[in-house]
Chains A and B, each alone.
Chain A
Amino acid sequence: EIVLTQSPGTLSLSPGERATLSCRASQSVSSSYLAWYQQKPGQAPRLLIYGASSRATGIPDRFSGSGSGTDFTLTISRLEPEDFAVYYCQQYGSSPPHTFGQGTKLEIK
């Protein structure tokens, strides 16, 4: 089973700053199979990025994804107030087909 480890656990930043969130896999993951989600309190997760770098429909271009192999990054170029949330990376693989990282909480400093 591929384990995804996200860092940091909590990231404290101010609106307007740049956020960099990391997702490290225990084994190599095809970049085609790496996704990122945003979850706000009391809401379902929302797909942000798939294929490591492709933005989902309606996602602002301040969100970008990159990486390959075992190291992937979600970058938010300039934080808006609505971006403060928990972010999860997720990989699609063989057994099990899906695993999630433990999440990074992005909080207002």
Chain B
Amino acid sequence: QVQLQESGPGLVKPSETLSLTCTVSGGSISSYYWSWIRQPPGKGLEWIGYIYYSGSTNYNPSLKSRVTISVDTSKNQFSLKLSSVTAADTAVYYCARDRVFGAGYYYYGMDVWGQGTTVTVSS
């Protein structure tokens, strides 16, 4: 079955760029949307953005100016970059498969999630 694994630095300095990668195993990255979601300590879930395997993206307006999501289909990976981080960006970051189909006409939920990776922003 499809599995997702996040990877990247667990500690990022303020004002720097947070970079994470999600590796898809057990299936192809093609034909799906792939999301990044984060969860600050003790708080709820915040959707960051998603990318279609073809490269089209959509971001949360609250983060749009700082976020870039990219995909590498040859490696079955997609990545997140969040620039100019502050302590408010400290969170567990999850990647997930997002079952959007038919140009957004059909939605079947985020059915596969990575285990999450903790990123702390601190000097």
Q: Which residues of A are in contact with B by a Cβ distance under 8 Å?
A: 1, 32-33, 35, 37, 39, 43-47, 49-51, 54, 56-57, 88, 90, 92, 95-103
In the complex, how many residues of chain B place their beta carbon closer than 8 angstroms to a beta carbon of chain A?
A: 27
Cβ-defined contact, A98 with B114, below 8 A: no
CA distance A90 to B55 in the complex (A): 24
What residue of chain B has the Cβ atom nearest to residue A30's Cβ? B107
What residue of chain A has the Cβ atom nearest to residue B47's Cβ? A98
What residue of chain B has the Cβ atom nearest to residue A98's Cβ? B47
CB distance from B118 to the nearest CB of A (A): 11
Instruction: Pick the residue among A44, A56, A99, A103 that contacts B109 (CB under 8 A).
Output: A56
Residues of B within 8 A of A32 (CB): 106-107
In the complex, whether B46 has a CB less than 8 A from a CB of chain A is yes
Q: What are the interface flags for B30-74 relative to A under an 8 Å C-beta threshold, 1 for contact and 0 otherwise?
A: 000001000000001111001000000011111000000000000
Cβ-defined contact, A50 with B47, below 8 A: no
What residue of chain A has the Cβ atom nearest to residue B45's Cβ? A100
Cβ-defined contact, A35 with B110, below 8 A: yes
What residue of chain B has the Cβ atom nearest to residue A101's Cβ? B44
What residue of chain B has the Cβ atom nearest to residue A54's Cβ? B108
Residues of A within 8 A of B107 (CB): 32-33, 35, 50-51, 92
CB distance from B63 to the nearest CB of A (A): 9
CA distance A1 to B46 in the complex (A): 13
What residue of chain A has the Cβ atom nearest to residue B100's Cβ? A92
Residues of A within 8 A of B115 (CB): 43-44
In the complex, whether B113 has a CB less than 8 A from a CB of chain A is yes
CA distance A88 to B37 in the complex (A): 13
CB distance from A103 to the nearest CB of B (A): 5
Instruction: Pick the residue among A33, A44, A96 that contacts B94 (CB under 8 A).
Output: A44
Knowing A32-B107, A46-B113 are in contact, say whether A88-B100 is a contact too (CB < 8 A).
no
CA distance A98 to B111 in the complex (A): 14
What residue of chain B has the Cβ atom nearest to residue A34's Cβ? B107
CB distance from B83 to the nearest CB of A (A): 19
The 3 closest A-B pairs by CB, nearest first: A50-B109, A98-B47, A44-B113
Residues of B within 8 A of A57 (CB): 111
